Amino acid sequence: MVGSERRDQLSRLVQEAQTAGDSYQDLADRAIDPVTGATVSKPYLHKLARGQVATAPGPVQLRAIAAALRRPAALVKRAAAEQFLGWVSDEVQGYDDDMRVIVTYAEAMPPAERRRLRATVEAWERARAEER
């Protein structure tokens, strides 16, 4: 990912949810911070999707946006850091967008689920190798 693609990461996450079928109202209805109960409004989400938000959302807003998008908070925080600060986390730098999402989801899993994911990936790789 290069240039402008990095500058709109959080906006793209909101756009993707909307394009996938969630209305801005659907997103706003889910945009509730699980810690404080604070919400993010439909107009704010619309502005965010259009790249019209000039300042980075704070931690409470980011958690609410993560809830709206049904994405791990770490993914949303990284997207905001890239978009508003130009910062890319070292642990995901160099990955394409698909790998970054996979790594972020795996990172948020409890250890037992992560082991099941690993076993699934390893079984898939064995099956693929047998097909060759």
Q: What is the mean pLDDT of the chain?
A: 87
pLDDT for the residue 89 = 62
Q: Which residues pair with 32 in a beta bridge?
A: 39
* Those residues with Cβ within 8 angstroms of residue 131's Cβ, 6 or more apart along the chain or in another chain: none
For the stretch 14-71, pLDDT in tens is: 999 999 999 999 999 999 999 999 999 999 999 999 999 999 999 999 999 999 999 9
What is the percentage of the chain residues whose pLDDT exceeds 70? 89
pTM of the predicted protein model: 0.70
Give the confidence band of 109 by pLDDT, cuts at 50, 70, 90.
confident
Q: Per residue in 63-103, pLDDT tens?
A: 999 999 999 898 899 899 989 988 766 666 677 777 877 88
